[in-house]
Structures are given as C-alpha cells and as structure tokens.
Structure 1
Amino acid sequence: MRAHTGDALLVRGHHVGDHDRQAVIIEVHGSDGAPPYLVRWEDGHESVFFPSSDAFVERMPQREKTD
C-alpha cells in the first residue's frame, strides 16, 4: 500500500451492521509512501494506523502551490 499526505483512507466494517470508518492521512511515516500513517478520523481524533486488507487508500488530487 502506498499513500500520500492528504489521501483518504477507508476501512470497511468487519461485521453486519458495522459502519465503514474514514480518515485523512496527515503524515506518512514509512519510506516511499508505505505505512504506518498518522491519520485523522472523522470524529477528530488522530492515531498511528497500520492498514490491513480491509483498508483502502483513495488518492486525492494534489493541490498546486501558489506563490
């Protein structure tokens, strides 16, 4: 799995009735976009996250810097 700062992270629920969880990657701690990631979850808390097979990264378009 490879990600960039600002990408969205989606974790599927494991059981019937479980909600999917969403986060934004705010730091990439591995080399070349590899995990672990520091993420901010929808409820605002932050954690270091090691994704498993139920997690997906959605690339967000990179914003161009304006001087």
Structure 2
Amino acid sequence: MKASVGDRLVTASSVVDGPVRDGRVLELRHPDGSPPYLVEWSDTGERTLVFPGPDTHVEHYDPDDVVQASTPPAALTAWSVQVTIQRDGGRTTAHAVLTGGAPPTVTAVGEDGHATRNPDDPEAPAIGDEIAVARALRRLADRLVDAAESQIEQSTGRPAHVQG
C-alpha cells in the first residue's frame, strides 16, 4: 500500500454492519509512501499513527477534483449527533444531542423502557443499547419536526403540520 499526503484512508469495520472510518493522510513516515501514516479521522478529528491492515484502502488525492477558489463553494452545513449510553442495572438510557442545526442544540432521551427478554435467552446488553438509542433518535427527530412546524407557523401566521 502506498499513500501520499492528502489521500483518504478508508477502513472497513471489523464488525458486520459496523461503521466505515475514513481520514486524511497528514504525514508520511517513509518517502516511498509506505505505512505508517499520520491520519486525521473525519468522525472524531483525532490524529493517530496508522498501520493499515487488509481492511483498509487508499483513495488517492486528485487536485483536479478540488473546487477552484474562483468557483463559489456550495452551501454546506454540518450537523453532528452525539449519543451517550448509560446502563444502570437492567435499564439502559441513551442521550442524543444534535449540534450545529437550527435550533443550535437539540437533546432527547430514550430508554429501553419495558423491553424485557425471555429469561431463557442469554444477556445481550447491545440490544438494550439499540432500543434506547433508537428511541432517543426518534425523539430527537420528533423535536426537530416540532421546531420546524413552530418556525413555519411563526413565519406564516398559520398552523403547520410537517408530514413525517
């Protein structure tokens, strides 16, 4: 594997249906472009020294793909959702926080609630996590729709209902 500064490193998840990580190569440790690479990850902004494995590939930087400064950039907005999970005994709670949007910060809480497992089934905390996160994200989505409806009503002076 060979990379150059500016190339994109893409790493597949080691877990089925897990997230793919990508980052920009910031620095080479060898002049021939061989690993390791100093990479800044797009999901966390963290910089780490990476020794890529077989689950990683390089997308080479092409300066011709870069929008020239004379071209007005497209309107881009980045929103981020941070989800934290807390387990307390048999109960799981997820907190979802959206930042960067309008309104600037929206929060929601979801719990695994009354989801119970069959006593014959093995413990699977990941399932409680999934239920709690799904409920927190659903509540977050509902709050965003409510905020949009409120803004529409304020600007038009009429009741608004956004179809889901």
TM-score scaled by structure 1? 0.87
Q: Does 1:11 align with 2:15?
A: no
Aligned: 1:39 with 2:20: no
**What's the CA shift for 1:25?**
0.2
- Give the match for residue 107 of structure 2: none
Aligned residue number for residue 29 of structure 1: 29
Residue 57 (str. 1) matches residue 44 (str. 2): no
Structure 1 unaligned blocks of 5 or more: none
Q: With structure 2 as the length reference, what TM-score do the two structures score?
A: 0.37
Unaligned segments of structure 2, at least 5 residues: 65-164
> Percent of pairs identical after alignment?
35
Stretches (4+) displaced over 3 A: none
- Write out per-residue CA displacement over residues 8-44 of structure 1, whole angstroms, 9 at most, x where no aligned residue: 0000011112100000000010230001000000110
**The residue matched to 2:6 in structure 1 has which SS?**
coil
Q: 1:49, 1:14 → 2: CA distance?
A: 16
Please identify which structure carries the higher strand content: 1
Structure number with greater Rg is 2
CA distance in 1, matches of 2:54, 2:16: 17
Aligned equivalents of 1:44, 1:15: Cα separation in 2: 22
> How much is the aligned-residue C-alpha RMSD, in angstroms?
1.2
SS at match of 2:17: coil
Paired residue total: 63
Look up the SS of the partner of 2:32 in the other structure: helix
- Structure with more of its chain in helix, by fraction: 2
Compare relative contact order (CA 8 Å, sep 6+) and give the higher one, 1 or 2: 1
